Structures are given as structure tokens and as C-alpha cells.
Amino acid sequence: MSDASTIPISPDDSPSMVLELIYQLKIKDVMTGALITAKRGDSLRHIQGIMRDNYITGLPIAENLRLLGIVSIDDIVTALDKGYIDESAEMHMTRNVIVLEDDMPLSFAISYLNKFRFGRFPVLNKNRELVGIITSKDVIKALLVEMNREVLKLEETQRMNHAAPANDGATELEFSTTRYDFEAAGHASTEIKKALKGLELDPKLVRRIAVACYELEINQVVHSYGGTIRCSIRGDTVTIVAADSGPGIPNLDLALQEGWSTANEWIRSLGFGAGMGLTNTKRVSDEFFIESEVGTGTTVRSVIRIGEAAS
Amino acid sequence: MTIREAAEALGCEILQNEFEDSDLQGGYTSDLLSDVMANAKSGAALITIQAHKNTVAVATLAALPAIVVCNSRPVPDDMLASAKDEGIAVLRTAESQYVVSGKLYALLPAGAA
């Protein structure tokens, strides 16, 4: 019985978006709350009728929100086979029921469904009251709905990142950076480099643009409170504008001196903060412009001409 | 000499194995990522002790197909994951940047830089 109820998602090793979903969603968001239950004195035949009428394959046996046991379709089949279908649920139900709690993340339900052979788990709240039931169908449905929503969001951001006015063939990309988020640093540059791929530029030009993007991006991550990197490819020029929201550079002449750096030891140990960022950017730019005000922020504009390739 | 041939000759373990086994055009030894961005020649192996995701970003941007992590520095999983995404080889050795650079310099044809 390999396995209709298995959910092909690993709670340890899945794309981060999926992991986020299964840890953020609670079991109570996903379970079926409108519960159908039976009483302990009901006959198995009666329970079979309830299953048939409601298209379900397992029924909790409960008394005043207290879970006593569960009868599954397998129990019904066995009862028919062995001839005790008219006996009470109490005599044949599974009493040792594995349950989930409504506050647990969805990942627990996935682990349980994959680990045990049961197709459903009753859900209890903190007071041990029966509040719902969860099946692999509930899980899959909820995940599909949430993933659809995420994909929609991704498509939106992509549209915004690649919003290109159709008339002049320009491409505009925009990325935001976060202070000390070295995880994401380099993302803007890598994406911009990918966007340039289609233009079949001289690799030397691509390298110059990549240097400017990367240095400006890292500068924001290391030194600013966060900002944006905008890249526009228009006609024969690539313009990169890096604007942050502070703290601003007190002495621009110093900041433009190669080797001058205010980076701390930790940042240097990561291979940054060599005091080469702005000079590297200036060196690869055809036009370089920097403006900074303490308390307001810094804006750097780097223009690199790419000949006729993009027109 | 290809990346795999160089890995074997240098006695490196290959931590990220999904890459195009291109000919190495040279090597560049540095732990300063800005310096690598500014000066490494494309097609070279990056010899460094900087083992994190940003090393991969720099290698990608500077078109460096292989990273040699020296001194047996620990290599985080997220670095290997992004190297896999970008198809960049990640090698590791117990030797220092000095020793690896010397050996690789001797292995590659004259004129490689």
C-alpha cells in the first residue's frame, strides 16, 4: 500500500518557500472543522451508512468533544468479512488513536501522514477536545491554494522587476537590499547579469557592469540601513542607481580613496570592507556620480556605455 | 588542464560536483572579494579561504568556474547549494593558499595567469 496518503514533501529538505508554508500554516488552518462523529453505542452498520452518505473513510467516536476512538473503512470491511457489522463501535473501534494538536504547524501533519499508515488524524485542542480531522486531501488542498498564492506573488514581483515600457525597448530592474543580509547580497548583481545575457555584449562590458552592481550592492549591505539597486538598460547605456536611506557618508573624498574603509572586523573577516568598492565602481564606469548627506542617505549613479548592442 | 584534472593533481576533495569540466585559464588567489571582482581573469580558479555564499556570487559575476577552499575551512551547505545552481565547482584542500597557488601555477601551461 505505497501510499495514496503519502505527501511528497519533505519537512527538512524542500524549497524554502514550501518550508515556510508548512511551518507557518497551522493544522487548524487546514483541518476539516465541521466534524462528523458517531457515538460509542452506534452499530458499525450505522457508521458505514454515515461514511457512505458523506463520502468519508474514517469516523471518530466521541462523547461531548472527548475522543474515544476511531472507526475506519478497513474496520468496516473486516466487520463485514467476519460478520460482526451489527455490533457496536465501542467493541471494535481503534482506541489507541494517534492525534495531532490544532496549534502544531502543518509540517507535523505531513510527517505523521508519511510515517504512519493512517489516512486521517483527529485533531485536538489544548484542552484535549476534539475539534477536527485532517486527511492528506486537506493537506494537499491547502498547499495547492497557498502555493498558487505564492506563485501569483512571485509573478507580480517579476513583472515589477522586469517592467519594461514596450515603446522604447528599455529594461528596468529594481532590487532592494537589507543591512547585513549577506545571504541575499549578490542577488541583484546576479539577476542583472542574467538580464544582460540576451544582449550578447562583450564579456568585458558585462564584467564592468557586474563589478559596478556588485560593489554598490555590497556597499549598501555593509554600510547602509538598506536601499535599492535600480538598473536600466536603455539604448546604448546601462545606468545603475544605488540609493540608500542612510546613514550617509561624512567625507566623500575619504570614501573615494582606495583602501579607506569603515568596515568592522567581522565584515572584513567575510572578505568585504577592503575599501575598494567605490573606487572599483568608479574605475569601471563611463560616468560616475555620488551624492551623500549624513542623516539622509547616499545615491550613486554609474553609467556604462554598451555601444549599439542594446538598441 | 580541466577542473577535474586540477582537482586530482592538487589532491582536492570535490564538494560541489555538478559543473562543466572546462579548461582552467589560470588562478587568482585572494580573500578580498572586491579584489577578486576587480582583478581576477575570467576562467580562472579562485584560491581562497572565503567559504560562503558570496564567494559563489563573486565567482559567478567574475566568470570563475572553480573555487578552491584552502586550509580545510568549513564550507556551509548554502554555499554548496548556490554553487550547484550556478554550476561552479567547489574544491577543498588542507593546504594553504600559498601552496595551492604554487602547485597550480606549475601545473598550468605557461602564459596562464
Write out the residues of chain A at the interface with chain B, using a CB-CB cutoff of 8 A. 182-183, 185-187, 189-190, 193, 203, 207, 210-211, 213-215, 218, 270-272, 274, 276-277, 280, 283
Q: What is d(CA A174, CA A242) in angstroms, rounded to the nearest whole number?
A: 10
Each residue's pLDDT tens digit, B31-47: 999 899 989 999 999 99
Q: Report if residue B33 sits inside a domain.
A: yes
Same domain, A246 and A131: no
Residues of B in contact with A197 (CB under 8 A): none
Instruction: Tell me the nearest-neighbour CA distance from B22 into chain A, angstroms.
Output: 17
A163-208 tens-digit pLDDT: 554 445 678 899 998 888 887 888 889 888 888 887 888 888 999 9
Residue-wise pLDDT for A262-302, tens only, equals: 888 888 888 888 888 999 999 999 999 999 999 899 999 99
A44, A75, A97 from A90: Cα distances, Å: 9, 12, 13
Domain boundary among A77, A107, A140: A140
In a domain, B112, yes or no: no
Residue B15 lies in a domain: yes
- Give the nearest partner residue to A189 out of B48, B57, B86, using CB atoms: B57
Domain housing B83: 3-107
Tell if the CB–CB gap between B34 and A203 is shorter than 8 Å: no
Q: Is B47 a member of any domain? A: yes
Q: Are residues A230 and A127 in the same domain?
A: no
- Is residue A67 situated within a structural domain? yes
Interface probe, candidates A12, A197, A202, A218, chain B, greatest B C-beta count within 10 A: A218
DSSP chain A: ---TT-----SSSS-HHHHHHHHHSBHHHHSB-S---B-TTSBHHHHHHHHHHHT-SEEEEEETTEEEEEEEHHHHHHHHHHT-TTSBHHHHSB-S---EETTSBHHHHHHHHHHSS-SEEEEE-TTS-EEEEEEHHHHHHHHHHHHHHHHHHHHHHHHHHT---TTTT-EEEEEEE-TT-TTTTTHHHHHHHHHHHTT---HHHHHHHHHHHHHHHHHHHHHSS-EEEEEEEETTEEEEEEEE-S---S-HHHHTSTT-----HHHHHTT--SS-HHHHHHHH-SEEEEEEETTTEEEEEEEEE-TTTT-
pLDDT at residue A13 in the model? 74
A206 shares its domain with A274: yes
Model pLDDT, residue A270: 83
Is there a domain that residue B113 lies in?
A: no
Residue A5 inside a domain? The answer is no
Domain around A257:
165-305
* Residue B64 is assigned to a structural domain of this protein: yes
Q: Do A272 and B33 touch (CB under 8 A)?
A: yes
**Assigned domain for B86 exists:** yes
State chain A's mean pLDDT as an integer.
87
Is the domain of A43 the same as that of A87?
A: yes
Q: pLDDT tens per residue, chain A (311 residues)?
A: 445 557 887 777 777 778 888 888 889 999 998 789 999 999 999 999 999 999 898 999 999 999 999 999 999 999 999 999 999 999 999 998 999 999 888 988 998 888 887 889 999 998 999 999 999 889 999 999 888 888 888 887 777 766 554 445 678 899 998 888 887 888 889 888 888 887 888 888 999 999 999 999 999 999 998 899 999 988 889 999 999 998 999 999 999 988 888 888 888 888 888 888 999 999 999 999 999 999 899 999 999 998 854 43
Instruction: Indicate the residue among A73, A106, A140 that finishes a domain.
Output: A140
Number of domains forming the structure of chain A: 2
How many interchain CB pairs under 8 A, A with B? 71
Are A206 and A257 part of one and the same domain?
yes
Choose among B34, B61, B78: nearest Cβ to A189: B61
* A249 part of a folded domain: yes
**Contacts A276 to B, Cβ<8 Å:** 32, 34-35, 38
| Residue A96: CATH number of its domain | 3.10.580.10
Q: Is B45 helix (H, G, I), strand (E, B) or coil?
A: strand
Residues of chain A found within 8 Å of residue B67, distances taken between Cβ atoms: none
A74/A175 same-domain check: no
Let me know if residue A160 belongs to a domain: no
Q: How many domains does chain B have?
A: 1
**Would you call B81 an interface residue with chain A, using a CB distance cutoff of 8 Å?**
no
pLDDT digits (tens, 9 = 90+) for B37-90: 989 999 999 999 999 989 999 999 899 999 999 999 999 999 999 999 999 999
Asked if B61's CB is within 8 angstroms of A211's CB, the reply is: yes
For position A285, what pLDDT does the model report? 96
ipTM of the predicted structure? Answer: 0.77
- CATH number of residue B80's parent domain: 3.40.1390.20
Beta-carbon separation of A280 and B78 below 8 A: no
Considering the domain architecture, whether residues A175 and A130 belong to the same structural domain is answered as no
Q: Residue B100 falls within a domain, yes or no?
A: yes
Instruction: Give the CATH number for residue A223.
Output: 3.30.565.10
